[in-house]
Amino acid sequence: MVFSEIVKNTVFETLKNYQELFLIDLKVNQNNNIKLIIDGDNGVSLKDCANVSRDIENNIDGEKYDFSIEVSSSGIGTPFLSNRQYKKNVGRKIEVLIEDSKPLVGELTKVNDDGFTIKWSQREPKPIGKGKIDVIKNKTLLFSDVISSKVVI
């Protein structure tokens, strides 16, 4: 079996022991350097990264394969790559890029299996008279329509 397949299988088996954690990205280069990015429903601690790294190391034969492993968490401002990241960020301000539109920036208010709803305030002309008023807008988007999303501060 190819080393990258061994790593992939080991990562998936290891993460079964950490139900609150999920895989964001996994890369194995030609020098057997493993880079793993994880996220969690309640965030990721340094201890989580260390435990996952140790469990993976212990389940790959170090005498047969020379490798290094780096486990890190998905950071603020990193684009969402998993629908679970939307669920954990309900109530936070996000930026969403969709085709043929300027980025939407607002509060992530709801998430379901197919998409999510974002809410923001926008200045619009008064219906009667001069001046502008703040209007609350909501937009529901399908995950499939989103080019990228990320938390903004």
**Phi/psi at 83 (5° precision):** -60, -25
Asked whether this chain's domains 3-73 and 83-151 adopt the same fold, the reply is no
For residue 2, the SS3 value is: coil
* Fold of the domain spanning 83-151: SH3 type barrels. (2.30.30)
Dist CA 41 CA 22 (whole Å): 8
For 46-69, what is the mean pLDDT? 95
**Predicted local distance difference test score (pLDDT) of residue 1:** 77
Q: In the chain, count H helices and then E strands.
A: 3, 8
For residue 17, the SS3 value is: coil
Tell me the residue length of the chain.
Answer: 153
**Predicted local distance difference test score (pLDDT) of residue 4:** 93
For the entire predicted model, the pTM comes to 0.81
* Fold of the domain spanning 3-73: GMP Synthetase; Chain A, domain 3 (3.30.300)
For 96-124, what is the mean pLDDT? 94
